[in-house]
Structure 1
Amino acid sequence: MTGATSTLQSKANSQQLEAILATNGPVLIIAGPGSGKTFTLVERVVYLITQKGVAPESLFVVTFTDKAARELTTRISTRLSDLGIKFNLNEMYLGTFHSICLRILEDFREFTRLKRSFTLFDQFDQQYFLYQRINEFRSLPDAQLVMGDDQTGRWAQSEHLLKWLNKVSEEALNLADLEAALDVEVRALGACFRKYHELLHENNCLDFSGIQYEALQLLEKRPEVLGQLREKFSYLMVDEYQDTNTIQERILLLLAGDRGNLCVVGDDDQGLYRFRGATIRNILEFPTLFGEGQCKRVTLSVNYRSHPDIIRFYNEWMQDQTWDDGTRSFRFSKKIVPRDNEFPDVPTAVRLAAKDASDDNANWHSEVLAFLNSLKASGRLSDWNQVAFLFRSVKNDRVVALARFLETEGVPVYSPRSNMFFEREEIRLMIGALIFLFPQFPKVRQWAEGAQLDIWTYYDHTCFKPFTDELRKPENKRLLDWARPLAKRHAVLAQNTDYAISGLFYQLLQFPLFSRFLSEEALLGVDKGRAARNLGTFSKLLTKFEYLHYVSVLNPEFLEKNLRDLFNQFLRFLSDGGIGEYEDEAEYAPKGCVSFLTVHQSKGLEFPVVVCGSLEAVPRKQHAALDEILEDGGYLSKARFEPLVHIKQFDFRRLFYTAFSRAQNLLVLAAQERNGRGLGKSPSKYFERLFYALPSWRDVPMGEITLEAVKEIALKREYSFTSHITVFENCAEQYRFFKELEFAPIRESPMLFGTLVHQTIEDIHKTVLRGDEGTITFDAIKGWFSTNYAMLSKKERVYLAPSSQQAALLHVMRYYERENGNWDRIKEAEVEISLVKDQYILKGSVDLLRGEGDTVEIIDFKSEKKPDMEKDRNRLRQYQHQLEVYAHLVEERTGQKVSRMHLYYTGEDGGNPYVSFTKDERAIGKTIADFDEIVNRIEIKDYQISARPTKLCQNCDMRPYCDNKDWNFRKTQK
């Protein structure tokens, strides 16, 4: 046994070790709550690399969320770094299903329907896209059977349509079968799906579920691509397998091929995402996909998280349900057991209950507060973030009322998905300000006879009135003096302005009414910059609106329509659909706050104290009539698995099992008791027996329960030279707004010219590297150029004059003429490289040339004329630093020696287009040290600058804010 394996065996329990060492063939790991699943996955990866000699780039590792992917990346990279193993994170396919499928599509884009620079939709983009084109679907035969009739309204129709279109993608249904179906509803669904894909293709767009659909199409229709990927991936691992869907299973089985090294990890008791197309059958039937005895099954049943009393309680909860129908079982038999340890000999699963008359919440609120104060008084609670309240929904009126009550009593509440975004003061005041700036707003409300929108009351009383009340205060006189004449101008606007609504947003930030939310003090306070981040989100919403509605300036001809679209549609639908506030991936339980989360949000997390509400809940059906038609008609790839009559009970048990098992030290079942009339019975009959068998929290000595601190998540952030370091060096304040707080810049030129030149040169390089240099002709280059321009201009809504297009094409042609015949120098194109540092991950992208001997040379393209070597020496020095970082990355990652570094100026039409640098090891060391210092400043949020960079200020959206800021400069350390 090697030393590494011996060390591993001392850390892992026997079940974990069995899972880690089971590497060949199909493996199913059933991982109960708190059983060390992530540890096992990390050590399995490390074992494959260190003991089995597997190259990191031949591993395919899938997680369920971006946060989980980042945590896994951090832990794997740290372990390998500690072992002195150098590897490129970018070469390992590690991420969510969607991110990995997207990467495959981008790697093999020429084999797909997608053009370069395609637009990727989030869920709101997708629904809004459907909403704007709903008439095209209404005209399809029987479409109302899929999306509801016209009386339900365009937004509701788009919501229904979105659900069914995503189901077709997630289930990988055969479009031809749908269109030829006997059932009229199914034929209508097929017609809607075909129309939708025509629209996506026409607009070069891709939606979230479509990422996987397109990836499956690519693998099934292009055997050469599938062959390359099968050759590349020797081992596949999938986390949270109970939440995978049909299309994901098909993709995995295709990639695993005959080699069959597919390891899936999950817990069938925690399957929560049926409403997103997930099917529990994938994990339950996994062993049957292979021959008898081929699939190794390991169960991790030791819980390292929870007190034994909590484990006892949720084991009993699952045993209350019958999990078979007499012929098949719909759950793996298992019993979770606690770790060997000394535990406090007190009950740690307790109940919290209070009765109230009808809609009065006074007793309930008081009892919850009394419990929290008792915890604090016990001396065991060191921070409110040790407490998490879990609910079926945090948008429920009673949940929101409880959160508001606790905040008034001095208990801060963190609830990012409770639809509070539009209730936040900074958002209400900003909307009120925008309404004030457009006196024609009353006309906007007369857009349809008899129309009455609920949101108008919100605008009037919650936004506009508070803003005008603020305007009357002496401290806001400067804002009034600015806003009043501007509003008068907008009322009688006669010609185009040079700004749009987003421009007004940035102007408003200069005034104390809004700038107070953006100060360094606000970002460091208890609120942790929550208001500033919400304003950043609002900036993104405004720029998204302007993009979707082709608004670049205020135009008198379209102004009223633009305002109707913004206030009566866009913001209204965001408000109705709910928009989450900022969530920090690196801190799921912000200090100083109790958390109000949905059970789904809490998945994969753990808290010392969990208060589980929503005990009035009962099982509810999640399928519709069309689901039954699709299942019974044989349109799905597999016949029905779980009996429809039992699904809602199964899913109900799994949901609350997930909630109960988040608790480490104390689980509290909380019910606002009701007898069943009016608002319904609470706790419902499904909880009643177990609930009243628990002791009251008042009968348990809280001082005897040990409460652990909230687990720190050490997530390494990724930094690149151009996107982070250069931005921070140029202006730390600009970095704070546009990188840290994620404001959406509007004046930033999309650099269309340079991107166009870069993309077309990349087309040339990739053709060379495929061995097809003979196909590169002037006509081929023109074709690539035209396609790139069409897609870029369509996506960015920015256009080049014909003369500028010709100039950009000339840059490419000049490069081709100069380099034609020297293509053997091209070694790799657009190489993504990364380096794992102690505190962060350094990333870059370069082109490599073959150097003398076994060396390589780095080249970076600049689509401009060659600069004056003396006048522009500072800019050249910055470029040199960038190349030094890339050289460092290449050498550290690959072991290849970098002999030279070049800038290539495609705009140089006379002399030598190259500016070359020899590699200076001392300079590289200093550059990396400077890099480390800048990253450290970013990490500790030190954004102070010695002076404003006046040249950058001229075109910065934040200039009005900075012009009115009380600057206290200090010298930054270099």
Structure 2
Amino acid sequence: MKSIDLNIEQRKAVESTEGPLLIIAGAGSGKTRVLVERTLNLLVNKKVAPEKILISTFTDRASKELIGRITKRLDEHNEKINIGNIYIGTLHSIFLRLIDEYIEFSNFKEGYRVLEDMDQDFFIYSKLKYFKELQGYNEFFTGDNFCRNAWERAKKLKYWLNKINETGRTLDYIKDDSNERVVFLRDAHKLYENLLIEDNVLDFASIQREIYRMLSTKEEVLREVQEKIEYIMIDEYQDTNIIQEKIIFLIGEKRKNICVVGDDDQGIYRFRGATVRNIIEFPSRFTDIQCKTIILNKNYRSHKDIITFCNRWINLINWRGFRYEKNIEPLEEIEYSDRAGVVRIGGNSDRAWKENIYKFIKTLKTTGKIEDYSQVAFLFKSTRSSRVKDLGSYLEERGIPVYSPRSKTFFYKKEIKLVMGALLAAFPQTKAYVLDNVYLGRTVAYYKDCLGTLKKERTILDDVELYNWLLEKRKEYLNFGEEKRDNFSEIFYSLFAFKTFKNLINLEVEGAKDASATYNLGLFSKLLKQFEFISKLEKFTMENIERTLKYFFITHMKLLFEEELDEYENKGETPRGAVSFMTIHQAKGLEFPVVIVGSLENDPLIRDKADEEMLEKLTGIYNEFEPEDQRERFDFWRVFYTAFSRAKNLLVLTSIENRSGGKEIPARTFRPIYETIPYFTDENFKDLDIDKYSETELKESFSYTRDILLYDECPLKYRFLREYEFATLKTNEISYGLLVHQSIEAINKQGIKDSETVFDDEIVRDIIEKSSNGLYNSIRALIRKQDKDRAFTVLKKYIEYIGNDWKNILSSEEKIYSVEDNYLLEGIVDLILKRDGKIQLIDFKTGKFQGYESENFHIHKRQLEIYGYILKKKYLNEDIELYIYYVGDEEGSIIKVEANEKSLDIGKAEFDNIVKNILDKRFERRVFSEESCKKCEFVAYCRGEK
């Protein structure tokens, strides 16, 4: 294996592949490099098959980075290994993959839907009537669980239900009925499980619970998974919870090749169920085999002063054995400058403090020490405090842009108030149902403000077309017959025909900061789609309009408004041209040349949780690890250690410096270190050395179906859907195509699993029905009977084509990757067969073959050529044949695509060219045509545009 520079401890970690291994990776110690090289060692030297490796990361972004770096290293070794079969991703995504692979053993059916956090709130809220029938319902919501209204009760229930699921416990063992709160929690958990199964939905906590149930109760599943997965690597292990650890140990129990990587000093997600117990006690979990521990303590990220400061901070308190002793060290071979790497910025008043910060950042920029404001990040405990918001406004007023997406201001943005005002104005019923409803309190005031925004500065009168259109809409929704009217999403997209809303979209700027209005409109489109999914709204009718409008304005939007949503955030990325205001939790895993840490007015908050802890103990889910009198203190220290260690060149502590008014600022906790570091003065700038702005090494991933086809259809539509993340409108054509694809996939999985399966008519229709039900649950797609009959004919023809020869199938729905110079190419191959000594790659199309000269065939052929290009790296010495299976033809057309080195390279060159256009931000709109553009979400926006 080609060597790469590794220090002694890193190399030990890479080469220690057998048995349990704990890697304590200090901040900036190169743990991602270790994970990449360790995986490479397994694949290249140990010849481990990719599907036998499981790698978990904390975020999707980290997974993509890992995939890119592993594939790049494999290419450097000329190793043709498809890592698409590695179980790589977040633990949730890996668990979902396992549930999918063994869905027949699950309580959930194919096509289940995963609830996002807000979806789970609404799901429980919509089911409260069932919980109210349980014994102890009212008694439960007392003490620490007191709630003012039904929405708060739903969120409190979510908290407790998730808490139970994160421990992996069941409460069935509770037989004592004397405590009504405990009885209610037991029965509520059982009821919730049944409600999830009945609706075929999973939340994030129940994903873990379901795979744990499958592994611990289904011997066949456990045996196959243990046989399949031989090596396990878990990153950020300090942020795993109890049930995740149980699952990891179940999977790795047979071979015990479990490698966990993490830093107990950065364990900051207790509120999500994480416990540092997992990493602290990991070695003691192995009584029959020695667990090796390796500490990575060389910091490749930060200035030596920052490293010294972080060591000093973490050692200020007595950890009582609840921490791995370690001393992070700077690199000996680096010559650091003598100027201070840790400084402070203060001020004896609020205004003086803000002015000093402004001067500091402005001088960094004007002296050329930073080339872009994004090299500076502010980290706070929360970005919602008035002091933080005031600082952001102060900087922006003086010309320093600020990116602060978590300031809970989404509904107060002008673009959102304009849309809300237009939706209110479009329905004449809203005056009686909504605007005159005194019980809506501040929400009514907000709605009236939205209408006022629409009218302000003569918006409506100046936009006569919009005014007249709204008048027509009011008439439509007042006078119903048998007609069906546009739903909210369709109204929303219609608004972009008018200059009031067109003016909100500025296509000349880029990024979540400068184009924030467009990004926020994209987010609002997803909120509307979410509502239509929850309420099962297809179209407005005379029968549903009153009920739907009341639910939307009086309940749904009111709850979202009171939730104070964040505006759009480009997760994992910080935009150029602005300093970032971030929470410390938000910044975990990131690094910045200059980090300014605020919130120094805080001391550890000791909260009285006696009532909550009593209930946890009574239900058996109490799992606190550290001493009760130290938990808040330990958490506080870890959070700020995480913040301080994000800095590369310069760490700045900042606070108003004031001891009057009965409260010391900064707080006593910080004074011992704050007062010993120097102030930053102008004289320091001449010796200041700041890392240049560097683009992220993360390569964007592109697929033919998701990206190239969409860009080919219309570059501007691509930009709206992919960059601004607008929601799509549903079409029957897409639903039918998904039905056929999912049904064929189900047949392939069953055939591969049991080659003796006879797919008679009853089994085929059952597969179609399950796929149809799954599509309704996941995307509210109503599959018509005639479409199910069409699908039945298609599937019978497909089964005949395979000829029950399932053993020839190498894979179905195989994920494939190829790392190119500036992007990651990915795809999913429908079917790979081996017949007559050749590899056959088959792609299914639900349409009909329209001839070799047709545009459709060219599109399909190009897709296959891309897949052939990727797979020729895997099947290096094999003959590869490409086929398109047009299942829409009466007899099913199997069209062979002639492929050779030249044609594959030509197809790849076309792909490269389109990716280059995307990366270069070339998003010109296509020539507008009423016929070809009529089904596009953005037809109203483009109509009349040049």
- The answer to whether the 8 Å contact 2:299/2:328 transfers is yes
Q: Distance in 2 between matches of 1:474 and 1:887?
A: 58
- In the alignment, residue 856 of structure 2 is paired with which amino acid? R
Q: Secondary structure at the match of 1:672?
A: coil
- The answer to whether the 8 Å contact 1:307/1:343 transfers is yes
Q: Secondary structure at the match of 1:237?
A: strand
Q: Secondary structure at the match of 2:625?
A: coil
> Which segment is superposed worse, 756-765 or 588-597?
756-765
Residue 86 (structure 1) aligns with: 80
Q: CA deviation at 1:756?
A: 2.3
Structure 1 residues 488, 566: closer, same or farther in 2, change over 3 A? same
- In the alignment, residue 628 of structure 2 is paired with which amino acid? L
Q: CA deviation at 1:635?
A: 1.7
Residue 446 (structure 2) aligns with: 458
Structure 1 residues 674, 550: closer, same or farther in 2, change over 3 A? farther
- The answer to whether the 8 Å contact 1:899/1:918 transfers is no
Residue 465 (structure 2) aligns with: 478
Q: CA deviation at 1:314?
A: 2.2
Q: CA deviation at 1:849?
A: 5.7
- The answer to whether the 8 Å contact 1:471/1:480 transfers is no
Q: CA deviation at 1:222?
A: 1.9
Q: CA deviation at 1:468?
A: 0.6
Residue 738 (structure 2) aligns with: 755
- In the alignment, residue 785 of structure 2 is paired with which amino acid? P
- The answer to whether the 8 Å contact 1:747/1:957 transfers is no
Q: Distance in 1 between matches of 2:57 and 2:850?
A: 50
Structure 1 residues 631, 333: closer, same or farther in 2, change over 3 A? farther
Residue 881 (structure 1) aligns with: 862
Q: 2:315 aligns with which of 313, 316, 319?
A: 319
Q: CA deviation at 1:125?
A: 0.2
Residue 927 (structure 2) aligns with: 947
Residue 255 (structure 2) aligns with: 259
- In the alignment, residue 112 of structure 2 is paired with which amino acid? F
Q: Distance in 2 between matches of 1:342 and 1:667?
A: 18
Q: 1:550 aligns with which of 536, 550, 553?
A: 536
- The answer to whether the 8 Å contact 1:433/1:467 transfers is yes
- The answer to whether the 8 Å contact 2:128/2:154 transfers is yes
- In the alignment, residue 729 of structure 1 is paired with which amino acid? D
Q: 1:212 aligns with which of 208, 212, 222?
A: 208
TM-score, length of structure 1 as denominator length? 0.92
- The answer to whether the 8 Å contact 1:517/1:529 transfers is no
- The answer to whether the 8 Å contact 1:831/1:846 transfers is yes
- In the alignment, residue 136 of structure 1 is paired with which amino acid? Y
- In the alignment, residue 34 of structure 2 is paired with which amino acid? T
1:345 to 2:343 alignment: no
- The answer to whether the 8 Å contact 1:858/1:901 transfers is yes
Q: CA deviation at 1:700?
A: 6.0
Q: Secondary structure at the match of 2:815?
A: strand
Structure 1 residues 396, 187: closer, same or farther in 2, change over 3 A? same
Q: CA deviation at 1:411?
A: 0.7
Q: CA deviation at 1:362?
A: 3.0
Q: CA deviation at 1:319?
A: 1.8
Deviations 1:749-788 (A, max 9, x none): 3633332233333333222222343443222222222222
- The answer to whether the 8 Å contact 2:59/2:90 transfers is yes
Q: 2:487 aligns with which of 500, 511, 516?
A: 500
Q: CA deviation at 1:829?
A: 2.6
Structure 1 residues 564, 620: closer, same or farther in 2, change over 3 A? farther
Q: CA deviation at 1:377?
A: 4.1
- The answer to whether the 8 Å contact 2:111/2:773 transfers is no
Deviations 1:150-196 (A, max 9, x none): 86101111111111111111110123124667654332212111111
- The answer to whether the 8 Å contact 2:131/2:188 transfers is yes
Q: Secondary structure at the match of 2:732?
A: coil
Q: CA deviation at 1:860?
A: 2.6
Structure 1 residues 230, 63: closer, same or farther in 2, change over 3 A? same
- The answer to whether the 8 Å contact 1:142/1:184 transfers is yes
Q: 2:415 aligns with which of 405, 426, 432?
A: 426
Q: Secondary structure at the match of 1:835?
A: strand
Deviations 1:359-380 (A, max 9, x none): xx43332232223223334432
Deviations 1:369-404 (A, max 9, x none): 223223334432222111111111111222112212
- In the alignment, residue 577 of structure 2 is paired with which amino acid? G
Q: Secondary structure at the match of 2:309?
A: helix
Q: CA deviation at 1:293?
A: 7.5
1:854 to 2:837 alignment: yes
Q: Distance in 1 between matches of 2:605 and 2:146?
A: 27
Structure 1 residues 284, 106: closer, same or farther in 2, change over 3 A? same
Deviations 1:446-465 (A, max 9, x none): 786x514223222323x221
- In the alignment, residue 851 of structure 2 is paired with which amino acid? M
1:746 to 2:729 alignment: yes
Q: Distance in 2 between matches of 1:34 and 1:821?
A: 54
In the TM superposition, 1:301-320 aligns within 5 A as 301-320=297-316
Residue 142 (structure 1) aligns with: 136
Q: CA deviation at 1:135?
A: 1.9
Q: Secondary structure at the match of 2:653?
A: strand
Residue 36 (structure 1) aligns with: 30
1:24 to 2:13 alignment: no
Q: Distance in 2 between matches of 1:440 and 1:939?
A: 46
Any stretches of 5+ residues in structure 1 without a counterpart? 968-974
- In the alignment, residue 398 of structure 2 is paired with which amino acid? E
Q: Distance in 2 between matches of 1:773 and 1:750?
A: 34
Residue 701 (structure 1) aligns with: 684
Residue 971 (structure 1) aligns with: none
- In the alignment, residue 643 of structure 1 is paired with which amino acid? P
> Which segment is superposed worse, 28-37 or 893-902?
893-902
Q: CA deviation at 1:927?
A: 1.0
Q: Distance in 1 between matches of 2:550 and 2:944?
A: 32
Q: Distance in 2 between matches of 1:78 and 1:721?
A: 21
1:131 to 2:104 alignment: no
> Which segment is superposed worse, 412-421 or 851-860?
851-860
Q: Please tell me the root mean square deviation across aligned C-alpha atoms, in Å.
A: 2.6
Structure 1 residues 808, 673: closer, same or farther in 2, change over 3 A? same
Q: Secondary structure at the match of 2:195?
A: helix
- The answer to whether the 8 Å contact 1:834/1:893 transfers is no
In the TM superposition, 1:897-916 aligns within 5 A as 897-909=878-890, 913-916=893-896
Residue 189 (structure 1) aligns with: 185
- The answer to whether the 8 Å contact 2:814/2:829 transfers is yes
Residue 576 (structure 2) aligns with: 591
Residue 713 (structure 2) aligns with: 730
Q: Secondary structure at the match of 2:636?
A: helix
1:721 to 2:707 alignment: no
Structure 1 residues 788, 747: closer, same or farther in 2, change over 3 A? closer
In the TM superposition, 1:785-800 aligns within 5 A as 785-800=768-783
Q: 1:869 aligns with which of 851, 854, 878?
A: 851
1:893 to 2:874 alignment: yes
Q: Secondary structure at the match of 1:45?
A: helix
Q: 1:806 aligns with which of 764, 770, 789?
A: 789
1:75 to 2:62 alignment: no
Q: Percent identity?
A: 35
In the TM superposition, 1:615-630 aligns within 5 A as 615-621=600-606, 624-625=609-610, 627-629=612-614
Q: Distance in 1 between matches of 2:312 and 2:96?
A: 42
Residue 936 (structure 2) aligns with: 956
Structure 1 residues 512, 897: closer, same or farther in 2, change over 3 A? farther
Q: CA deviation at 1:812?
A: 2.4
Residue 241 (structure 2) aligns with: 245
- In the alignment, residue 271 of structure 2 is paired with which amino acid? F
Deviations 1:646-667 (A, max 9, x none): 1001001111111111112222
Residue 156 (structure 2) aligns with: 160
Residue 45 (structure 1) aligns with: 39
Structure 1 residues 576, 80: closer, same or farther in 2, change over 3 A? farther
Residue 821 (structure 2) aligns with: 838
- The answer to whether the 8 Å contact 2:171/2:619 transfers is no
- In the alignment, residue 59 of structure 1 is paired with which amino acid? I
Structure 1 residues 815, 304: closer, same or farther in 2, change over 3 A? closer
Q: Secondary structure at the match of 1:130?
A: helix
Residue 913 (structure 2) aligns with: 933
Residue 641 (structure 2) aligns with: 657
In the TM superposition, 1:374-393 aligns within 5 A as 374-393=363-382
- The answer to whether the 8 Å contact 2:182/2:618 transfers is no
Q: 2:49 aligns with which of 46, 55, 60?
A: 55
Q: Secondary structure at the match of 1:124?
A: helix
TM-score, length of structure 2 as denominator length? 0.94
Structure 1 residues 334, 527: closer, same or farther in 2, change over 3 A? closer
Structure 1 residues 957, 639: closer, same or farther in 2, change over 3 A? closer
- In the alignment, residue 696 of structure 1 is paired with which amino acid? Y
Q: CA deviation at 1:267?
A: 0.8
Structure 1 residues 98, 747: closer, same or farther in 2, change over 3 A? closer
